[in-house]
Amino acid sequence: MPPSVIVCTDTVQLFRHDVLTVLVRSLLSPGSACGLLLGESCGHWNSGASNWTVQFPGVPKPPVRPPVPPPPGTPVDRILFITDVHWDAAYKEGSNAECGEPLCCRKDDGLPTPGAVGAGYWGDHRKCDVPMRTIESMLQHIATNETFDFVLLDRRHPSTQHLATDTERPADSTGQSHGAFLAAFCFPPPFITGNLSSSWLYEDMASKWSRWLPHDALQTIRLGGFYTAQVKPGLRVVSLNMNFCSAENIWLLINDTDPAEQLHWFIKVLQEAETADEKVCTDGVTIPSWEWYSSELRTKALWQFFGHIHTDQFEVFYDEQTLKRPLGIAFLAPSVTTYYDLNPGYRVYEVDGDRSGSSRMVLDHHTFFLNLSEANADGGKSKPIWRLLYSARKALGLSSAFPQAWNDLVVRMQKDYAVFDLFWALLHTGHPPGLCRGYCHTALLCSLRTGRSEDPDLCAGLVPHEKFTLIKNLWLSQRRC
C-alpha cells in the first residue's frame, strides 16, 4: 500500500471518533463545515478565533518605564532552555531517509534506494527525528561544560510519528505521554468527558510532578495542564497549555472561548504577581498570537520562552494604543530534533540576576548546536562536538536584548539583506535551505513583529492589507490566542 494511503488510513482510524464528535457538537454551518473539510471551492470557513474578550481587574496600569541595563559586574542568572527533543526510539542508522512518509529514518523504512544515502548516525537533515545517542551527547556536553541557575524543559519529547500514538500503551514518563498527545493535534478541553477526555493525561502529569510542584499547581495541572510556581523569592514561572491556543486543535471548533478558563487564571496570576512585586517567566509550546497581557501588565511578564516550530525566531509585542512602542519580546528557541532540514540545538538565556532592584530582564542569549554533516562524516566513529553557534547581541549587532532592540533589528532587515541572510541561517540552526526572498522575506519579517494573528496593522509598510492572508499562510505557526 502506498505510504500516502497508509498515512490517510491510519489517520482516519486514530481520529475518527474525535472528528465525528466535533462535527456533531460544533456550531458550524453546512457551508463552513464543507469549506473546512473540502476547501474553499465547497464553502467558506473562517479559521480565525471567535470574538471574545478577557476581563482585567480594575487596577491602574503601572507607568511605562523603559528598561535600563544593569551596572557592569552585577550578577547574571543563566537559564538552560531545551525544547522539542522528539526522540525516535525507532531511529536506525543507514535506513531509508526518503521513505515518502511524514517521518523517515526508522527501522521499518528499510534500506535506501540504490545510490541514495541512508540515515546518518547522529541524525539526519531530512524528515527524521533524533536517536537517543544524540540527546545523550547533548546532555553530556551540557553537564560537562555548563552551569545554570535553573532549567526549563518543554514537554515535546517523543517522535513526530503521531500515528503511533496509543493511549492504552503506558508511557515511560509524563513528558512522553504529554508529547504524544501534542503530536496528535487533538487536545480536548475539560468540558469533554468520557473516553475522549484528556483527564487521564493531566492526572498522570500531576502524579509524576507532585514531588516538584506545590499543591495549587497540581490542581490546575489536573484541570488543564497549566500551572504557576515560585522559583525563588520575587520570581515566578507560569507554564501555559498552549494546546488551547493552537489553530490545529479541532476541539476548539465546539467552543474556543478560553478553554479551562486558562487566560482568566493567567490574568489573576499576573495581577497577584504585580501586587506582590514578583517578576514572571512565561513558557509554553506554541507562541501566543495576541499581546494583550504584555500591554495590560507590562512590567511583570518579562520572559516569554516558547518552541514548537523548531526554528529560532522571536516575536515583538507592542502597546495596544499606537502599535508602535515595543513592550515585550517572546523568544522561540531552536529544537533538539532535526525535523526538518535543521541542526540540533539548545538555548542558554542570560538574565539580570539576584540583586536589589533587579529587572530580571533577558540580557542576551546563546545558541549551541551540533553540526550534523560534520558529526556524521566518519559514520559516528568520533565523539560529536557541540559548540556555540552564536550569541544574539554580538552576532546580530543588537544594542541590548530589550524589545526595542529586536524591533530595530526587524526594521534593519527590511533592506539589509546581509543581516537578514545571517538571521535566516541562524533561524535554521546553521543549516539554511536556500535564500529567502520575495514573499518569504516579507512573511518572516511580518511574523516577527505581529502578535496579532488576524490583524495586519503591525505589518503595515511590509505588505498591503489585501496580501496579508497570503503572507500569513506562509508563517510557520498558526495561533488562536
Q: What is the CA radius of gyration of the chain?
A: 22
Integer Cα distance of 123 and 344 in angstroms? 9
How much of the chain is in helix, strand and coil states, percent to nearest 5? 35, 15, 50
Least-confidence region, from 38-52, 214-228, 266-280, 414-428: 38-52
Give the helix/strand (H/E) hosting 313.
Answer: strand 313-318
Reply yes or no: is the peptide bond before residue 339 cis, omega within 30 of 0.
no
- 86 marked as binding residue: yes
Question: Is the separation of the CB atoms in 206 and 147 below 8 Å?
Answer: no
Return the higher-pLDDT residue of 125 and 290. Answer: 125
How confident is the model at residue 125, as a pLDDT?
Answer: 97
Partnered with residue 144 across adjacent β-strands are none
pLDDT (tens digit, 9 = 90+) per residue, 38-93? 666 787 766 555 667 777 777 777 777 788 899 999 999 999 999 999 999 999 99
| Contact in structure between 251 and 22 (CB atoms under 8 Å) | yes
CB 252 within 8 A of CB 479: no
CA dihedral 156, 161, 166, 172 (to 10 degrees): -50
What are the grid coordinates assigned to 237, written together?
514561572
SS3 string, 120-167, reads CCCCCCCCCCECHHHHHHHHHHHHHHCCCCEEEECCCCECCCHHHCCC
Q: How far apart are CA 383 and CA 387, in angstroms?
A: 13
**pLDDT by residue (tens digit) across 368-391?**
999 999 999 999 999 999 999 999
Listed residue (320, 323, 367) closest to 346, CA to CA: 367
Contact indicator for 452, 289 with CB cutoff of 8 Å: yes
Amino acid at 335: S
Q: Cβ distance 253 to 28 under 8 Å?
A: yes
Decide which of 25 and 63 is more confident.
Answer: 25
Query: How far is the C-alpha of 105 from the C-alpha of 98, rounded, in Å?
Result: 8
Q: Are the CB atoms for 188 and 131 separated by under 8 Å?
A: no
Higher-pLDDT residue of 141 and 40 is 141
Cβ contact 208:245 at 8 Å: no
The proportion of the chain whose per-residue pLDDT surpasses 90, expressed as a percent, equals 50
Query: And the C-alpha cell for 419?
Result: 543581516
Burial degree of 313 (CB within 10 A; 0-12, 13-18, 19+) = buried
Average pLDDT over residues 14-24: 84
> Residues of CATH 3.60.21 domain(s) within the chain?
52-88+129-472
For range 242-250, the mean pLDDT: 80
Distance CA 175, CA 411 (A): 39
Tell me the fold of 52-88+129-472. Answer: Purple Acid Phosphatase; chain A, domain 2 (3.60.21)
Q: Identify which has the larger pLDDT, 360 or 12.
A: 360
Distance CA 366, CA 389 (A): 8
Specify whether the CB–CB gap between 198 and 175 falls below 8 A. Answer: no
Considering only 8-17, 195-204, 269-278, which range has the smallest mean pLDDT?
8-17
CB environment 384-393: b (16+ within 10 A), e (fewer): bebeebbebb
Is 84 within any annotated ligand binding site? Answer: yes
Q: How many CB atoms lie within 10 A of CB 333?
A: 27
Residue 178 has pLDDT above 50, yes or no: no
| Beta bridge partners of residue 151, listed in sequence order | 80
Q: For the chain, first and last CA: distance in Å?
A: 40
Three-state SS at 236 = strand
- Candidates 344, 357, 351, 348; CA nearest to 428 is 344
Q: Which grid cell sits at 478?
A: 498558526
Place of cell 495561533: 479
Q: Is 108 annotated as ligand-binding?
A: no
